[in-house]
Amino acid sequence: MSKMSRLVTAMLALPMTTGIVNAQPTKHFDPSTGTIIDQRWKSGVPLGGIGDGKIEVMTDGSFGNFTNQGNWDRPYGWARGAFAAVHVGPLTPNNGGTGQGVTRMLRLTSSGEYSGVQNVAHAQTQGFFPRATVRYTDDALPVRLRLEAFSPLIPHNVKDSSLPIACLDYIVSNASDKTQKVSIVLAWPNLLGWGGRGGIKFDSLAGDTQSPAKAGTLTGLRYTTTQKYIDQQANTVGQDFLAVRQEPGVTTSTCAAWDSAADTPAFWSTFATTGKVGGPLAPNSGGTGSTGPAGAVCASVTLLPGQTKTLHFYMVWAMQNFIMVDPRKTWTDQYDESPAVIPSLAHKGGDRWSTNRGMHPGDHLILDLGRVCTPASVTMDNGKELTDYPRGLKVEASVDGKTWSTVSTLTKDDLFKAVNTIDLKSTVCRYVKLTNQGEDGLFWSIYGMAVDLATSSGMKPEAKWPAAVDEHPVKATAYLAHFEEHTHYDHAGHF
């Protein structure tokens, strides 16, 4: 945390351009200043270091679209349990007040909001990545209040630009002529274990707890979980730290547990009365009575008329796991046998025979010519793309299909052409074996084939097999090397 002073240096100023959920009159967006007024757009300003995932400050002052738990495939949408609130008062006769306090949730009213709370009347947001400014206004509030949110993005400093942190500075100014006691609470759900990938959902919050913690001048709550996994669900578990900076004149309090899935935040009535939070106010473990484990950190300060104070809050996450799935093939000495129907060389329909997987040494075709004869050559159409030709080829012949003699061996360079005609040297045989010699992730494919037959060595071929004019397909048998697939989980790690 000693590097916190460096986080604000050399920030980029890239305007945020995202779409609006529901079209509103143009007066709700000021293009001259880039200000979004009283709306929540689909996207906010992302906060979080490079490669760490992000949380977003939404344009209505709320938070959402979390991907900070390795859950890029399944972002956590609008976060009901993540919010800030302000309490001003209660004022007392000793400082000229009436004893009435004002409490506001610092986000606009929307569907899904908690019951029994009152939202701030207006929010004006400017987003210039990696910074966001949200100005909150409400006639009932005797203070001016804005949020300055940012994450470190420092040119030529990748390491510090990759810190998994969101800095949330709430700046409060006493606009009245009386002394005001102001409290800001930042509430946050414990989502450790939540996420997903490739259509698979991870929803467990079991064993999620929050406990008081300190780090240097920061005080707050440490979020942990007892969940453990060996697969990619491990990417969703780690630790979070919700904190506020302790400074002279700032008092803090925490609520170690409340249920974010409840109708009303359990600490709300206490906060609205005293400007403090306490507890735990729910079972401090997800899945054992609290369906939405969450915590809250509060900071309070007394402001003289005209005085301004910044309350520095931080959301830090440490997701130490980055597991990647690595499917691996283990090749055996066995072969999978299947019929191979190869289009005739004269066929122009675009059909093909293919291995339907990357070619592997030992993959082979056996052609049965139907009788013992003297073939002169075999011709193969590899396709015009010049990608599916065999990576080397061993050509063998046999009379009985058991004893084989090598007729020819060709390199992959020999075969790098659309059509290959291979001299069979008029070898007496009934069977011809074509064996791929190289490894490649591309398929071995044949778009057309024919075998020229001769009555004896050196004589003009008497026929083609099969008869090209009839476009009969070549019937052969494919023997493809057998493999077993195993899933390995590789730990890619972090900075």
User: Using CA atoms in the order 132, 137, 142, 143, what is the torsion angle rounded to 10 degrees?
Assistant: 10
Backbone torsions φ then ψ of 294, nearest 5 degrees: -160, 165
User: What percent of the chain is modeled with pLDDT above 90?
Assistant: 72
**pLDDT tens-place string over residues 16-68:** 333 333 333 344 889 999 999 999 999 999 999 998 999 999 999 999 999 99
Long-range residue pairs from 247-251, CB within 8 A, at least 24 positions apart, any chain: 247/217, 247/312, 249/301, 249/302, 249/309, 250/299, 250/300, 250/301, 250/309, 250/311, 251/299, 251/300, 251/301
Q: What would the pLDDT profile of 426-456 be if each residue is shown by its tens digit?
A: 899 999 999 999 999 999 999 999 988 864 4
Question: Could you give the percent of the chain with pLDDT greater than 70?
Answer: 86
Q: What is the mean pLDDT of the chain?
A: 87
Q: Which of the four pLDDT bands, split at 50, 70 and 90, describes residue 13?
A: very low
The reported pLDDT for the residue numbered 24 is 38
Other Cβ atoms closer than 10 A to 91: 20
Q: Find the length of the chain.
A: 495
What is the value of pTM for the model shown? Answer: 0.69
Give just the sign of the alpha carbon dihedral 112, 113, 116, 122.
Answer: negative
Instruction: List CB contacts of 185: < 8 A, sequence separation 6 or more.
Output: 84, 85, 87, 267, 271, 277, 296, 297, 298
Q: Contact 195/71 with Cβ under 8 angstroms?
A: yes
- At residue 285, the pLDDT reads 67
Q: How many Å apart are CA 129 and CA 262, to the nearest integer?
A: 34
Residue 74 in contact with residue 196, Cβ under 8 Å? yes
Q: Which domains, from first to last, does the chain contain?
A: 4-320 (2.70.98.40), 326-487 (2.60.120.260)
